[in-house]
Amino acid sequence: MTGVLEYEGPADRDGRLPPRLARLMRPELPSLAEEIVAEIRRAIPEYARPLDGPYGHVLRLSVEHSLAAFVDRVAAVPGVPAISRDSVGTARMLGQYEAHEGRSMDCLQAAYRIGGQVAWRRVMKVAPRHDISSATMSRLAEALFVYLDDLAAHSLDGYLRARERPIPALDERRRRLLHLLLEDPGADLAEPAEATGWAVPDEVTLVAVEPEARCVWTSLDEDVLADVECAAPYLLLPGPFTPGRHAMLGEALPGSRIAVGLTMPAGQAADSLRWARRALDLALDGVLGDDPVTLCEENLVSLWLLSDPALVEQLTRRHLGILDGMTPGRRDRLTETLRCRLMTRGTAAEIAEQLQIHPQTVRYRMRKIEQVFGKELDDPEARFGIEVVLRAAHLRSRRRPVVRRRAQPHPAPRLHSL
């Protein structure tokens, strides 16, 4: 696109930026975000943490969000706030991070300055291609640095609030209460709960958090109990896992993988945590998908099938040992065909479509399967056992081939005197 962007009609003549300018800016955002993040990490040692960790995710997401929000403002219609609610929330979160890291605001203010400088260098590089007028450039510069000043002001507000506000989740007494609830389901919690200002709920939901996750404590609801400084971090949510709790955890644990256990009576909190931790391990291994939040209630069968690997191995030997004499490739083809047949009860054509093979190939394989297994496929108990081990094998096949850094074995919480 070429041509002077100075004459855009009434919306331009009253001092606002030409909305079409946003269309020129959007294609630059992905590479600009990368450049800003790289420059911030190079210039500020405190931010030079691995980008694949929680802190790196927060830095990258904050830069991307701030750039996108500014361009949205340029494209916005009259009456839109100068800074969006999401931008305010992100800026305050960054201030909270600085407070929790025990730093002053100097590093974050320097990061804002660097971001503005890198962004303006990009503008100066791109502007000549589109013949943008000097008056538009002047207003764009003013808008950019006013926007950065607003972000810095909201970050300072978040910083000050984080330093002034007590953090109940960090209270050692609440952590002890959490450990007591998990260790001793029959314990009388009334007195220790009253001492910490926590109302004992009828039901709780435990949440397992990936190791070394970064927690924005002030984003946690005040009734949440948490221990995120141990090798296997976790939280307790009173009541069920609601959309509001989901949003809260997204702000409190940005960029982190979590697994949500079942909502259980308070006396069975340890079960909810055990299932959540197992689900998190499987999610991090790729078995349960790549969503940042894994819900146990949506994966109950998978959790059951993979709850005792040694027992599944014994079932596999009992029901599929007859295939051991085959080559691995042939065994895999037959078992995958049999799994589809047992799960779908479909015709040869339907199974062929699912496996992307010819129906005649399915028929050939099924004849071979019937020859090998014989009457076992007519026995409901044997057929159920075969289906169980085939489903478990299919789930295990989803594991990522690379070795990931695993959490330390989950120790039972130590009981402290209250």
Task: Report pLDDT for 272.
Answer: 96
pTM tops 0.75: no
Last residue of a domain, one of 285, 301, 328: 285
Please report whether residue 178 resides in a domain: yes
Residues 231 and 107 in one domain: no
Instruction: Clarify whether residues 38 and 143 are in a common domain.
Output: yes
Q: In angstroms, rounded to a whole number, what is the distance separating the alpha carbons of residues 63 and 51? A: 13
Cα angle at 410 between 408 and 411, to 5 degrees?
A: 110
Tokens describing residue 389 = 């081990």
Which residues lie closer than 8 Å to 281 by C-beta, 6 or more apart?
Answer: 406, 407
The answer to whether position 252 is within a domain reads yes
DSSP 222-282: TT-EEE-SSSS-EEEEES---HHHHHHHHHHSTT--EEEEEEEEGGGHHHHHHHHHHHHHH
Q: Are residues 259 and 339 in the same domain?
A: no
Domain containing 67: what range? 10-164
| 25 and 108 co-located in one domain | yes
Domain identity same for 205 and 59: no
- The pLDDT tens digits for 117-140 are 999 999 888 888 887 888 888 888
| Cα 238 to Cα 202: distance, rounded to the nearest angstrom | 8
Residue with tokens 């169980």: 388
pLDDT tens track for 196-209: 889 999 999 999 99
Question: Percent of the chain beyond pLDDT 70?
Answer: 86
CA atoms within 13 A on the CB side of 314: 3
Residue 30 structure tokens: 């992905």
- Determine the pLDDT at residue 110: 93
Pick the range with the lowest mean pLDDT from 135-144, 160-169, 327-336: 160-169
Res 410 pLDDT > 60: no
Give per-residue pLDDT as tens, 273-323.
Answer: 999 999 999 999 888 888 999 999 999 988 888 888 888 788 778 777 778
Domain co-membership, 206 together with 277: yes
Return the pLDDT at 344.
78
Are 324 and 371 contained in the same domain?
A: yes
Do 254 and 112 share a structural domain?
A: no
**79-88, 91-100, 112-121, 228-237: range with highest mean pLDDT:** 112-121
Give, in degrees to the nearest 5, the angle at Cα 323 between 320 and 325. 145
Alpha helix stretches (DSSP H) within 76-133: 85-100, 106-130
Residue carrying structure tokens 């085939």: 390
User: What pLDDT was estimated at residue 2?
Assistant: 37
User: Is residue 408 situated within a structural domain?
Assistant: no
Task: Indicate if 233 and 347 belong to the same structural domain.
Answer: no
Q: Please tell me the distance from the alpha carbon of residue 382 to that of residue 388, in angstroms, as a whole number.
A: 10
Averaged pLDDT for residues 210-214? 85
In a domain, 268, yes or no: yes
Which among 130, 145, 164 is the end of a domain?
Answer: 164
Q: Is the pLDDT at 226 greater than 60, yes or no?
A: yes
Domain membership of residue 386 (yes or no) is yes
- How many domains does the structure of the chain reveal? 3
Structure tokens belonging to residue 154: 């909201």
Task: Report the CATH number that the domain containing residue 122 is assigned in CATH.
Answer: 1.10.490
The answer to the question of residue 392 being in a domain is yes
Give the model's pLDDT for residue 170: 52
What does the alpha-carbon distance between residue 217 and residue 120 come to, in Å, rounded to a whole number? 34
Share of the chain above pLDDT 90, in %: 28
Q: What burial class does residue 311 get, using C-beta atoms within 10 Å of its C-beta: 0-12 exposed, 13-18 middle, 19+ buried?
A: exposed
User: Which of 117, 143, 164 corresponds to the end of one domain?
Assistant: 164
Q: Please say whether the beta carbons of 47 and 59 come within 8 A.
A: yes
Whether residue 176 is found in the same domain as residue 246: yes
Do residues 383 and 334 both lie within one domain? yes
- Residue 200: how many CB atoms within 10 A of its CB? 15
What is the rounded distance in angstroms from the CA atom of residue 159 to the CA atom of residue 152? Answer: 10
Domain-embedded: residue 290: no
Domain membership flag for residue 318: yes
User: Which residues, in sequence order, are bridge partners of residue 234?
Assistant: 208, 227
Q: Are both 18 and 153 inside the same structural domain?
A: yes
